[in-house]
Structure 1
Amino acid sequence: MTTPSLSLSLAPVAFYWTREQYFDFYERVAAWPVAGVTLGETVCSRRRDMKLADWLAIGRHLAAAGKQVTLGSQTLIESNADLRDLAKLCDNGDFMVEANDMSAVQRLSAAGLPFVGGLALNLYNVPTLAILQRSGMSRFVAPVELPGADLATLLGAARQAGLALECEVLAYGHLPLAWSSRCFTARHHQYPKDRCQFVCQRYPEGLSLATQDDSRRLFTLNGIQTLSGACQDLRHELGAMAEMGVTTARLSPRATAMDEIVDAFDRARHGHLASPSPLSLVDAELCNGYWHGQAGMDLAPAAGI
């Protein structure tokens, strides 16, 4: 079975990389078989290596390579400075914005600008989708804990209600679970948040938090964000996603082996699932439970993974 109608996209980089790492990474992305790329710092405003002008420069380069470029807004707004940065992002004039906070929705809607609804907006029902579509939303990212069966029901009901919305699903990567006003990575190093020494940059794929007996990676700490310990890998669900009306499978960037991950998903969306998995050396553990209506950290059944 092939699912050519299901495209691939890249989520914003969740972790704090160096400026050189971002530019090198997206230079390679230009040649990858991904249709869309969402750029920007969506986690912490203290990560200052990249300016809006840098993201716009990368975006223009990717757009010239045929990619659909979106700019992601910060998820947790904590200060007036964050609001000023949000205003500049929303008024960038080049690219659509992915709103990860209702303040971004308000700003974009008031300006009459179309936008993408980020997964942090927690969009679970048709009335909410309808309100945001009237506000300008043309695409939304499904919440990571929404089971596939429930998403199928939601998309079917949305179509019956006459809502023409594209839908993205996070098909690969550490699942974003929570954001906090505290910085757990700084706390781990005994630094206060406002003098964090930017220690996040020491962990280009996050800081692993294991169970007390050290038997399992429980969470991944990423500054003020908490992610799942393992990655979700829904390659075997791409056909079902396409049938239910999902338009895009979103992949969360990693510092290593991302080209292999994109290639594996590109093959999978055309029905080619290698066994054993070429990603088995990348991910020792997986957490696909949410998609199957189980505990999120469970590895739900998927032959060949």
Structure 2
Amino acid sequence: MKYALGPLLYFWSKQKVESFYQQAQESSADIIYLGESVCSKRREIKASQWISIAKEISSSGKQVVLSTMALLEAPSEITVMKKLIDNGNFIIEANDVSAIQLASEKSLPFVVGPSVNVYNAQTLQLFLKQGMTRWCMPVELSRDWLIKVTRQMELLNISNKFEIEVFSYGYLPLAVSARCFTARAENRAKDECETCCIKYPNGLQVDSQEGQPIFTLNGIQTQSGSCYNLINDLPMMKELVDVVRLSPLSVETFSELDKFRGNEQGGSRYNLKESKQCNGYWHNIAGLDINQ
């Protein structure tokens, strides 16, 4: 299996982003996704600068993928998406069907991101014809569901014609909205948010009345309240999953990446309950639950 660092989902300072990706270049990741996929107001790093970072990282031999936005709300955001698609060097991760269409028109290979609703092999067949080379399945789906789809793929004769990727570590991106929940939490209007999300480098935790973490607010994105972690499930992914995705949380993500690589054969058993992490969706149970 290959290991990927997904796109940075949070808003960090330019200095912190550059430092993170300098370390990423030296990490054990095979694939690195770059770009702003959540909110266009986050302008510390512009599209041209993401492309420059991509060129630097690719010189180390890693595959680089440029990620597009999951929710487009303005013509200016489409302009940025077109600039990423026209970069001339790197494939893109399409997090919206419009990005798939534009990439297809340019005959540019693309990855279908987890925010695109793909639930059957017929949809995968369509995207394959348009140029898909990898598919990251939606985060709420299970191993049983993935097995069912791979059987459908065999009937359509599209098995092994693209890679399958699974979001395996990080706070799950569950939904995006036109509203900014982080701004609302600070009693700010969305148009006057002052990108206050930069104060929450791993999002803003929301607890239930019983004190249980149920969501993480990340601007217009709602994430899971617990960190998702499939490190104990790597042996179950063999011959089913090609790429394991870890979502960046901090520089500690690199040590988590090394732990994943070291546990590919299942030699260690990590206590997710003790670390307040979850793996429910993969096991076809409630997402915040744990299957030990």
Question: Shorter-chain TM-score: which interval?
Answer: over 0.9
Q: Which amino acid aligns with 2:170?
A: G
Instruction: For residue 50 of structure 1, give the secondary structure of its aligned residue in structure 2.
Output: coil
Q: What is residue 169 of structure 2 aligned with on the other side? A: 172
Q: What is residue 197 of structure 2 aligned with on the other side? A: 200
Q: What is residue 65 of structure 1 aligned with on the other side? A: 60
1:189 to 167, 186, 190: 186
Gaps of 5+ in 2: none
Q: What is residue 290 of structure 2 aligned with on the other side? A: 299
Q: 110-119 or 253-262, which moves further after superposition?
A: 253-262
Q: Percent identity?
A: 39
Aligned residue pairs: how many? 290
Runs of 4+ in structure 1 off by over 4 angstroms are none
Q: Which amino acid aligns with 1:222?
A: N
Shift of 1:187: 0.6
User: Once the two structures are superposed, what CA deviation does each residue of 1:107-129 show, in whole Å capped at 9, x if it has no partner?
Assistant: 11111111110111121101100
Q: Does 1:229 align with 2:220?
A: no
Counterparts of 1:85 and 1:206, CA distance in 2:
24
Counterparts of 2:60 and 2:197, CA distance in 1:
31
Shift of 1:243: 2.5
RMSD in angstroms over aligned alpha carbons?
Answer: 1.5
Q: What is residue 148 of structure 2 aligned with on the other side? A: 153
Counterparts of 1:74 and 1:235, CA distance in 2:
28
Gaps of 5+ in 1: 1-5
User: Once the two structures are superposed, what CA deviation does each residue of 1:201-227 show, in whole Å capped at 9, x if it has no partner?
Assistant: 0000000001123x2111000000000
Normalising by structure 2, we get a TM-score of 0.96
Q: Does 1:144 align with 2:132?
A: no
1:118 to 88, 91, 113: 113
Counterparts of 1:172 and 1:68, CA distance in 2:
19
Instruction: For residue 243 of structure 1, give the secondary structure of its aligned residue in structure 2.
Output: coil
Q: 154-163 or 198-207, which moves further after superposition?
A: 154-163
Q: What is residue 269 of structure 1 aligned with on the other side? A: 264
Instruction: For residue 188 of structure 2, give the secondary structure of its aligned residue in structure 1.
Output: coil
User: Once the two structures are superposed, what CA deviation does each residue of 1:186-209 show, in whole Å capped at 9, x if it has no partner?
Assistant: 011111111101100000000000
Instruction: For residue 26 of structure 2, give the secondary structure of its aligned residue in structure 1.
Output: coil
Q: What is residue 22 of structure 1 aligned with on the other side? A: 17
Shift of 1:271: 4.1
Instruction: For residue 20 of structure 1, give the secondary structure of its aligned residue in structure 2.
Output: helix
Shift of 1:264: 0.8
Q: Does 1:107 align with 2:102?
A: yes
Shift of 1:53: 1.9
